[in-house]
Amino acid sequence: MKIAVIGTGYVGLVTGTCLAETGNNVICVDIDEAKVQKMQHGIIPIYEPGLDVLFHRNIAQQRLTFTTDLAIAVHEAQIIFMALPTPPGGDGAADLSYILGAAKDISKLVTEYKVIVNKSTVPVGTADKVQAVFTAHTDVEIDVVSNPEFLREGVAVEDFMKPDRVVIGTGSEKAKKLMSELYAPYVRQGNPVLFMDERSSELTKYAANSFLATKITFMNEIANLCEIVGADVDAVRKGIGSDDRIGKRFLFPGIGYGGSCFPKDVQALAKSADEHAYDFQILKAVMDVNERQKVVLVDKVLKYYKGDLKGKHFALWGLAFKPETDDIREAPALYIIDHLVKNGATVTAFDPEGMKNVQAILGDKIKFAKDQYDALSGADALLIATEWSVFRNPDFERMESSLTNKVIFDGRNLYDLQKMIDLGYYYNSIGRKLVD
């Protein structure tokens, strides 16, 4: 099939590349000329494990191409995916200007039937708004379909190629037939393609992310309570996770959720509820708790140093909001850095993939290390903000020789408590016994 993908951000590039991998001819469109030129020369603009192999293979086999010319893409494609940003506006509502603007541009170029697919995460009713744009600018028949993505950064290629489910919102039999054909190679093992109305499809994405964010936040609250009452959050997690109704996933406590999806999607769903005069109290609590949780590690640091961080120097392991990505959007590490610096401390950070993106934002506000051990040199304590695998089994003897003091504040509970006792570290983690 001939496919166009409008937007080459994280979702757009993964979508376009993975669609090309099953034999489709895919043309990706972006207004950023420099970015398009780099991709045309085989330079991938994001870090996502496994994507580079598919990216280069499909470029070489001429199934995946890139352009800034929207007209060419619209003319060639049977199905047009819109994978455009929907950032939160000042009031928290999703900004649809990129999607509606692209719809208007596409509507002026269509000359025959097309399926227009909203791949972006959008509020309920967006498909209707996009349809209205086309109705206002063309008489050509088109169908607007809602097809939300469920890609986890770090395993997005696997998620696309072997999805748990594919959700498609459409009332058109013609569009349903084309979308069924398109996704057939990805669900051969029997995972469902769920067809529903457009509004239900749009709400499904927000509901899924908001529920997962709620699950994470609930566990963080339990962890905080564990510290107060003297319980062990790891034991509690295992105890409730063995219940099939709850499940084991998303129960690991930490320093809050971040990234491009959970923060804005929870906020957007709460705002959408407000617009319909519904007070979504759970989501508002989730957002409030998560904001506090992002800096809970700083609270522990301040308590340890009796509120005075002036002249203190800290090593920080992890900048990305999660491992196996370079995405730093709403990363807890950024909030930690901000609070430490405001309290008079200095920071040297290391992250396997996220340093370039942080440096573009913070400049020389902090220092960046060449590796995780270099970050420790002269540090009064180590803070851990991202659970990269490389941090899980470090050389503690080497760490001891670099740190000024054997002090670790762990926001991801990476290390065994007994081991930290045996090694003689002060070790402060989340929801577990303090090792001092």
Residues with catalytic roles: 261
- Yes or no: say if 113 and 140 are a contact pair by the CB < 8 Å rule: yes
Cβ within 8 Å of residue 185, ≥6 positions away: 22, 23
- Burial label for 33, CB within 10 Å (0-12, 13-18, 19+), is exposed
- Which residue, 164, 209, 429, 249, is CA-closest to 330? 209
Closest listed residue to residue 83, CA positions, set 160, 135, 176: 160
- Half-sphere exposure at residue 359, Cβ-oriented, CA atoms within 13 angstroms: 11
53: tokens are 């192999």
Identify whether the C-beta of residue 237 lies closer than 8 Å to the C-beta of residue 251. Answer: yes
**Pair of tokens at residue 189:** 């093992």
Q: Percent helix, strand and coil across the chain, each rounded to 5?
A: 45, 15, 40
Both structure tokens of 36: 């398009």
Let me know: does 1 contact 78? Beta carbons within 8 Å.
Answer: yes
Q: What is the token pair recorded at 14?
A: 């993964």
CA 345 – CA 313 distance, rounded (Å) = 6
62/27 Cα distance (integer angstroms): 10
Q: Please classify residue 415 by burial: count the beta carbons closer than 10 Å to its beta carbon, then call 0-12 exposed, 13-18 middle and 19+ buried.
A: buried
Cα(360)–Cα(364) distance, integer angstroms:
9
